[in-house]
Amino acid sequence: MSKSPSRRHFLKSSLTLIPIVSIAPQSVLSASTDIAEKPPEASTTPPQPYTPHFFSEVEWSFVNAATAQLIPDDEIGPGAIACGVPEFIDRQMDTPYAHGALWYMQGPFLTDLPAELGYQQKLTPRDIYHFGIKACNEWCSKTKGKAFSNLSDEEKVKALHELEADAVPMDEMKSSLFFSQLLKNTKEGYFSDPIYGGNKKMAGWKMIGFPGARADYMDWIDHPNEKYPLGSVSIDGRRS
């Protein structure tokens, strides 16, 4: 999970999160020296450390440790921590999505149905994180002598694999449900618009060549297979 081949597979599979019509092909990713945008002036005020609103201190340590293993810093690009993925997840937990307001949340709960048929769980994303982190930490303490965030990198990766394989006992759900929720939100945070807390400095977009929320591309329709010259733009107008 911490090796480059796995990360390349992760990034390739995650491109489905972004409408394909909006992604420039590989041949148009780098900026041109002929057309350049004036970069925004750098702020002289250092960013303040993010304080979680939903996660407890123990849960926050888990989320940071787990997402750092799912997307590590490497030669390909910055990892989950540098890109603000934990902040994205914490902020998402205060949205209607995390409270289950987007789905029908009454029984019966047919949890073995394919995902294509919609959300079938009785737990909201907030519940999944609370129960999942608690159960995983208890299991790690019992079997490895430490909470998840205190394990070595190798032990963390192994524990995440065991979560994915339903090898971690949990009363409220299968551990694979918790793992899939964590992985899904980690991917979303890495490629989200920066206004939601993740994808700091649009690093995720720059890595795959996604131009972001530009108004239109009419001036580039007649330039097939040419390098797209402009960088990424956030919904609020910030430029990479």
Highest mean pLDDT: which range of 25-39, 43-57, 132-146, 223-237: 132-146
Does some domain include residue 190? yes
Burial of 165 (0-12, 13-18, 19+ CB in 10 A): exposed
Residue 174 is part of which domain span?
4-33+55-105+123-220
Q: Report the C-alpha gap between 203 and 158 in whole angstroms.
A: 27
Does some domain include residue 15? yes
Does some domain include residue 227? no
Handedness of CA 198, 201, 203, 209 (dihedral sign): positive
Does some domain include residue 234? no
Q: Given this model, what pLDDT does residue 221 score?
A: 81
Does some domain include residue 111? no
Does some domain include residue 164? yes
Does some domain include residue 83? yes
Cα-Cα-Cα-Cα dihedral of 125, 10, 227, 18, to 10°? -30
At 30, the pLDDT band (50, 70, 90 cuts) reads very low
Does some domain include residue 177? yes
Strand partners, 212: 233
Instruction: Please state the pTM of the whole predicted model.
Output: 0.79
Number of compact structural domains in the chain = 1
Across 27-31, 59-63, 112-116, least confident range: 27-31
Name the nearest CA neighbour of 150 among 64, 25, 83, 31. Answer: 64
5 pLDDT above the threshold of 60: no
